[in-house]
């Protein structure tokens, strides 16, 4: 059926980096893409981009290139989101979600529980 | 980018009554299918996929949830509101990147 489990909450200082993991299970890792979605406190959902789990090729939404990096560790069927040079407005819940194809566009059918990243001095 | 606009921003409906949420996209999301999904997010929880291809109910979603529409105008209907349906509902297009969400509609009990 599929299950995504994310790493725990993090409190970071401005300028630091953070890496969020999204451990997948219950399905063939390379047959589903992994997407990332951000939700700032009290706000709506914002699509950050996705990574092709067959090729490892990432695609970033405008505003999420440069400091944001999607990666994979296929040996443990895990996707990662790394954010560098953290700013206060990176404070948000970050979700991973899967899509039923590494190439085609479908809805996000299974979501991780979310990882809260708080950035404060 | 495709802009998704939901209406209303919030609504209060009596238990057992119908709730209707509208979603309009700034350009058509149709190409053989309507690349439009609806998600439910309860407080403190992750979003949950309810509807995809504008009108196909995800496995396990109660039949009181239905989606309709095509092209640029879509509707999510909860036919008989239950207490557990209190949530924020989002439409989302997956037609072209960047994928975009509506701003959300908060559904409460009157």
pLDDT bin (cut points 50, 70, 90) of residue B89 is very high
Q: Which of B49, B51, B99 to mutate to test the interface with A (most CBs of A within 10 A)?
A: B99
pLDDT of B27 reads: 98
The residue whose two tokens read 């970071």 is A12
Looking at chain B, the whole-number percentage of residues with pLDDT higher than 70 is: 100
Question: Region A8-16: what's the mean pLDDT?
Answer: 98
* pLDDT tens digit sequence for B33-42: 999 999 999 9
| Residue A109: predicted pLDDT | 97
Q: What are phi and psi of A24, to 5 degrees?
A: -105, 155
Question: Which letter does DSSP use for residue A7 in this model?
Answer: P
Which residues between 48 and 77 in chain B have a beta carbon less than 8 angstroms from any beta carbon of chain A?
48-49, 52-53, 58
pLDDT score of A104: 83
Q: Is B40 on the interface with A (CB under 8 A)?
A: no
Taking only the tens place, the pLDDT of each residue in A112-121 is 999 999 999 9
Q: Which residue of A has its CA nearest to B49?
A: A109
Phi, psi of A88 (to 5 degrees): -60, -35
Cβ B97 vs Cβ B87: under 8 Å: no
């Amino acid at each position: 059926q599929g299950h995504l489990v994310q790493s725990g909450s993090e409190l970071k200082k401005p300028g630091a980096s953070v890496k969020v993991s999204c451990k997948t299970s219950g399905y063939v890792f390379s047959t589903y893409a992994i997407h990332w979605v951000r939700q700032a406190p009290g706000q709506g959902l914002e699509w950050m981009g996705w990574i092709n789990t067959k090729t490892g090729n990432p695609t970033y939404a405008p505003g999420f290139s440069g400091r944001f990096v999607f990666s994979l560790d296929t040996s443990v069927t895990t996707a990662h989101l790394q954010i560098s040079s953290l700013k206060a407005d990176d404070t948000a819940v970050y979700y991973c979600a899967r899509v039923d194809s590494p190439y085609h566009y479908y809805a996000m059918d299974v979501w991780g529980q979310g990882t809260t990243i708080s950035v404060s001095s | 980018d495709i802009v998704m606009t939901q209406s209303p921003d919030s609504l209060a409906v009596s238990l057992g009554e119908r709730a209707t949420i509208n979603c309009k996209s700034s350009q058509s999301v149709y190409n053989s299918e309507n690349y439009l999904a609806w998600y439910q997010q309860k407080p403190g929880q992750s979003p949950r996929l309810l509807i995809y291809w504008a009108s196909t109910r995800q496995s396990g979603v109660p039949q009181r949830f239905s989606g309709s529409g095509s092209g640029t105008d879509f509707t999510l209907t909860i036919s008989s509101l239950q207490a557990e349906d209190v949530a924020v509902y989002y439409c989302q297009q997956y037609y072209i990147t960047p994928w975009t969400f509506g701003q959300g509609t908060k559904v409460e009990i009157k």
